[in-house]
Structures are given as structure tokens and as C-alpha cells.
Amino acid sequence: MLRFGVCKKKVEKYIRRKVKSGISPEIRGLYWKCIAQTNTFKYCLPNGLYTHLIFFPPTLGDNEIQLDINRTVYSKYRNHNTRSLFNVLRAYNLYNPDVGYCQGMGYIAGMLLTQMNEEDAFYTLISMLEKYNLQEMYRPGLPALGEMCNFLDRSIKRSLPKLYSHFLKEKVNTSMYAVQWFMTLFTYNTTLDRAAPIWDLFYIRGTESLQTVSLALLKHLEPKLLQLSLEPLINTLVCLGDVDMTKIVQSAIRHA
């Protein structure tokens, strides 16, 4: 069993090696917490913060969070405790009102809850948004999303020119599919177990991994996409349930 006193560099080295073949689901959550430094965030913040936040009096933001859980997130996480999901999202909304709650966060928090308890999920969410700077993707106006989509668009033009030309012909804008990829770290678009290897890589390489995985995925799908018109093309990019993401991650690592 992994102890959190283990040297972070040794754990990172292990994950870099194991991410190629796949981290065991039984210990995945422990490694995520170790790399994200979940306990560091927990101990640096006021003692009992999470408990204080979840018992804070109701706010207007609670309704929006519950509505989104019922409308968009529930179907993905219906086998898990949606009350815990509400608690984590509500606590973060209160903890960081400058960012607050944004659609897409539910998928992130939900994925964390499949790997750890809700208090750890809360502090890991803080790490993901602060240490990995995902908060810029969720701030009002979504400032980082446009930059990330533009960067991917330039990468497609440089690395996959045939696909780029086809996208232009079919009037495919990168934001039509990549916004969901980025805001939910692919959990919206595929099953949770298939998305997990992408998260393994994310904890090592941060948002850079979202770009390399996206490009590897597009390269994998290119032969099929070149034969499709706009609507089926977008559907293919949004519904990725039959894509082996472990192989996509392996390709992203090789060509990064």
C-alpha cells in the first residue's frame, strides 16, 4: 500500500513508467492524490475547512449545482453518491468565489469521487484547479478555453494538414468538440475507465497532456474523419466510447 511519505519523485517515475502499460485501478486514486499533493493542500488550509463549507447555510449557487447534476452529470455518475458530488462542488464554490462553479466541474469532481472519498476529492479538485491551473478554464468568460482550442487548431494545421483542410471544407470549428474534451478531461466523451489513462498522464504533464492526447486521438481517427461530413464527423468526435484511450495515451507519450 502506498504511503504518502514516499518520495514524490519516485512516485512520478513509477507513474511515467506505468502510464504506458496502465496503472492498476486498485491504486490509481492513491497515486493521483500523491502526485496532486492532496494532503499538502489539506494541511496548508484551515483545519476542518471542508466540514465547515458543506454545513454552510444554503446559497443561490446551490440550485445551479443541483440542476446541473440532475441534468447533465447524473447519468454518468448515477452509480455513485450524487450527494457527495453536490457537497464537493458546493464546497469549492464557497471556497473560491472568484472562480465559483462552472459546468464541466461536475465531471471532474465526479471522476475524483470514483477514486477517493469526498473530502480528498475536494482537496484534489483544489490542486487540479490551482496547481495545474485548470481554474483559468472555468473562470467567468472561460479565458483559457479559447487559447487551448486555438493552440490545438494550429497543431492540427501543422501535424495533420489533410485533416485540417477537411475540417475547413466541412466548416468544423475546433471548439465544436474540443471544449468538451478539455472542460471534462474527456470524461464526458467516453467511459470513466477509458478516460482514466488520460488522467494518469494529466497528473504528470498537466494541461500539455490534453493537447498531446487530442492530437494523438485526431491522428488515430483521421482515416475515418476524412470520409465524413459535418454532422457525423462531430458525432464521432463527441462520442468516443469505442476508442481505446490507453493506446491513444501511449501514442501521445511516444510522439510528445
DSSP string, 138-183: HSTT-HHHHHHHHHHHHHHHHH-HHHHHHHHHTT--THHHHHHHHH
The answer to whether residues 31 and 63 belong to one domain is yes
Residue 1 falls inside a structural domain: no
The answer to whether residues 112 and 203 belong to one domain is no
Side-chain-side CA neighbours of 135 within 13 Å: the count stands at: 17
pLDDT on residue 84 = 93
Number of domain units in the chain: 2
The answer to whether residues 102 and 87 belong to one domain is yes
Dist CA 187 CA 78 (whole Å): 14
Residue 89 falls inside a structural domain: yes
The answer to whether residues 175 and 220 belong to one domain is yes
Task: Give, for 255, the enclosing helix (H) or strand (E).
Answer: helix 245-255
Domain span including residue 189? 143-255
pLDDT on residue 4 = 43
Which grid cell sits at 53?
463549507
Residue 8 falls inside a structural domain: no
pLDDT on residue 25 = 87
pLDDT on residue 1 = 42
- Max distance between CA atoms of the chain, in angstroms, equals 57
> Looking at 27-156, which runs of residues are DSSP E strands?
none
pLDDT on residue 151 = 97
Which grid cell sits at 199?
488522467
Dist CA 161 CA 201 (whole Å): 26
pLDDT on residue 179 = 97
- Below-70 pLDDT ranges, the chain: 1-16, 20, 74, 78-80, 256
Residue 13 falls inside a structural domain: no
The answer to whether residues 147 and 123 belong to one domain is no
pLDDT on residue 2 = 47
CATH number for position 98: 1.10.8.270
Residue 117 falls inside a structural domain: yes
Domain boundary residue among 121, 137, 153? 137
Q: Dihedral sign, CA of 132, 133, 135, 136?
A: negative
Please report, in angstroms and rounded to a whole number, the separation of the first and last CA atoms in the chain. Answer: 31
Residue 106 falls inside a structural domain: yes
Domain boundary residue among 120, 137, 154? 137
The answer to whether residues 55 and 126 belong to one domain is yes
The answer to whether residues 221 and 162 belong to one domain is yes
The answer to whether residues 113 and 154 belong to one domain is no
The answer to whether residues 129 and 155 belong to one domain is no
pLDDT on residue 255 = 78
The answer to whether residues 147 and 241 belong to one domain is yes
The answer to whether residues 131 and 161 belong to one domain is no
> Looking at the chain, which runs of residues are DSSP E strands?
none
Residue 224 falls inside a structural domain: yes
Dist CA 164 CA 172 (whole Å): 9
Domain boundary residue among 98, 120, 137? 137
The answer to whether residues 152 and 244 belong to one domain is yes
Burial annotation 18-44 (CB, 10 A radius, 16+ → b, else e): ebeeebeeeebbbbbbbbbbbeebbee
pLDDT on residue 189 = 94
Yes or no: say if 52 and 94 are a contact pair by the CB < 8 Å rule: no
